[in-house]
């Protein structure tokens, strides 16, 4: 079953408003990764978090990894139309003797100009 | 630098026809290779992954198959397409199972 839960599924914001998507794992993760997929495009890697409580910033994007390493969030400050797309979190899970990255279902962000 | 190429970019196929999507990776050796499907513009469904030549793991039993005839070549096939096979197919690679995944530009398949 789905091991990475991501909420919300959809988010519509006015340009300039903030946006946050949350990712929760059923188990402790060694790392968590975030990807962005623009409409009509393919997912592109944004960042990886490894340490408990880690916070990383990329311009207006702030990524956090929970203390227990079971949850993460992506916060965008003052959204712009260029932020439109679907944001996925992904974590490594063990299966069939190897670790594979499992993706959340994504949060689709719409920005109203 | 590493690059991934996937083709064709778009195709429209009749029900019952065969399918072949091809993907190649350049600039690295022995990568993990993946095929994902994305229906209705949402979640990423892992179809197949491969850790080496001739080694294919299937995540979801279905009408599709995958092959890895060479180290950096990954092929997705079907003998007879179903309407439900329509979607956006993404090839991807990584250094290891838990590492960052790099996606190709995708192939839009419409089965009519």
pLDDT digits (tens, 9 = 90+) for A18-43: 999 999 998 999 999 999 999 999 99
The SS3 assignment for B103 reads strand
| A99 with B49: Cβ contact below 8 A | no
Angle at alpha carbon of residue A62, lines to A82 and A85, rounded to 5° = 30
Beta-carbon count within 10 A of B99 CB: 17
Residues 6+ away with beta carbon under 8 Å from A4 = A23, A24, A25, A89, A90, A91, A102, A103, A104
pLDDT tens per residue across span B76-86: 999 999 999 99
Cβ <8 Å between B103 and A98:
no
Q: What is the pLDDT along chain A (113 residues), one digit of tens a residue?
A: 558 999 999 999 999 999 999 999 989 999 999 999 999 999 999 999 999 999 999 999 999 999 999 999 999 999 999 999 999 999 998 766 667 888 999 999 999 99
pLDDT at residue A51, as a whole number: 97
Q: How far apart are CA B112 and CA B106, in angstroms?
A: 19
pLDDT, residue A96, reads 60
Identify whether the C-beta of residue A88 lies closer than 8 Å to the C-beta of residue A101: no
Compute mean pLDDT per 10 residues along chain B, 112 residues long, and list them: 95 97 96 91 86 89 91 97 94 90 96 96
What number of helices (H) and strands (E) belong to chain B?
0, 11
CB A95 within 8 A of CB A85: no
Q: Are A7 and A107 in contact (CB under 8 A)?
A: yes
The answer to whether B47 touches B37, Cβ cutoff 8 Å, is: yes
* Backbone dihedral angles phi then psi of residue B11, each to the nearest 5 degrees: -155, 145
pLDDT value of residue B31: 95
Q: State the greatest distance between any 2 C-alpha atoms of chain B, in Å, as a whole number.
A: 39
Nearest CA among B32, B45, B39, B41 for reference residue B4: B32
Q: Which residues of A touch B (CB under 8 A)?
A: 30-31, 33, 35, 39, 41-45, 48, 86, 88, 90, 92, 96, 98-106, 108
């Amino acid at each position: 079953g789905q091991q990475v839960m991501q909420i919300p599924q959809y988010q519509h914001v006015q340009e300039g408003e903030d946006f946050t998507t949350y990712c929760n794992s059923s188990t402790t993760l060694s790392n968590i990764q975030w990807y962005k997929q623009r409409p009509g495009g393919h997912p592109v890697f944004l960042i990886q978090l490894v340490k408990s409580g880690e916070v990383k910033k990329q311009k207006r994007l702030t990524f956090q990894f929970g203390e227990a390493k079971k949850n993460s969030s992506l916060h965008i400050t003052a959204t712009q139309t260029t932020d439109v797309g679907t944001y996925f979190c992904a974590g490594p899970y063990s299966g069939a003797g190897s670790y594979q990255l499992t993706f959340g279902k994504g949060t689709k962000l719409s920005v109203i100009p | 630098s590493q690059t991934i190429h996937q083709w064709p970019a778009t195709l429209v196929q009749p029900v019952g026809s065969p399918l072949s999507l091809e993907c190649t990776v350049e600039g690295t050796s022995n990568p993990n290779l993946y095929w994902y499907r994305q229906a209705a513009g949402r979640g990423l469904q892992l179809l197949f992954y491969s850790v080496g030549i001739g080694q294919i793991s299937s995540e979801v039993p279905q009408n599709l198959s995958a092959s890895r005839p060479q180290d950096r070549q990954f092929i997705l096939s079907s003998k007879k397409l179903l309407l439900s096979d329509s979607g956006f197919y993404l090839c991807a690679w990584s250094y290891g199972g838990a590492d960052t995944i790099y996606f190709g530009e995708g192939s839009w398949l419409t089965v009519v």
